[in-house]
């Protein structure tokens, strides 16, 4: 994917980001527009468009992503009070950047799971 993808460019060091954790296969950095006191994005360094592609294409890497997310949650002091970990996916999910990323949100009560009831 490379130069067309914002998060591939962050992996490549071409766009600056506030990195909080890095492994051989994953990267965690602060969201540029935080929606909570802690808002970190966790991505695989390898490009997958969304969590469905990642989960089906490389389940082991998906597990490494979760391990990095858990380590960041611990580093940020979120394990006691809890947090939310979510993957916006596709049009209905409101995904804007098509390089899979988990949003780690915490540091305050986060309110209901959805802003409005769509059931
Ligand atoms: P999505 O809507 O795709 O689930 O989330 C994309 C997220 O990426 C948004 O929360 C947005 O604030 C964040 N974002 C967009 N551009 C940048 C950037 O250049 N740097 C960082 N750190 N975050 C970004
Ligand atoms: Zn990418």
98 lines ligand 1 (CB under 6 A): no
Q: What's the pLDDT score for residue 1? A: 67
pTM of the model: 0.97
The residue whose CA is least distant from atom 24 of ligand 1 is: 32
Q: pLDDT digit string (tens) for 21-38?
A: 999 999 999 999 999 999
Q: pLDDT digit string (tens) for 51-109?
A: 999 999 999 999 999 999 999 999 999 999 999 999 999 999 999 999 999 999 999 99
What span, in angstroms and rounded, lies between the C-alpha atoms of 101 and 109? 22
What span, in angstroms and rounded, lies between the C-alpha atoms of 42 and 31? 10
89 lines ligand 1 (CB under 6 A): no
Distance 8 CA to ligand 1 centre (A): 13
Per the DSSP assignment, residues forming a β-bridge with 106 are 38, 83
């Amino acid at each position: 994917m490379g130069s067309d993808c914002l998060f591939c460019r962050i992996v490549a060091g071409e766009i600056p980001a506030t990195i909080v954790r890095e492994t051989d296969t994953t990267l965690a950095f602060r969201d540029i527009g935080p929606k909570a006191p802690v808002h970190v994005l966790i991505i695989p360094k390898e490009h997958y468009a969304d969590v469905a592609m990642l989960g089906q294409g490389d389940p082991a890497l998906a597990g490494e992503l979760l391990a990095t997310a858990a380590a960041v949650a611990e580093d940020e002091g979120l394990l006691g009070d809890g947090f939310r970990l979510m993957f916006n996916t596709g049009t209905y999910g409101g995904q804007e950047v098509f390089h899979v990323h988990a949003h780690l949100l915490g540091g305050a009560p986060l309110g209901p799971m959805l802003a409005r009831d769509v059931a």
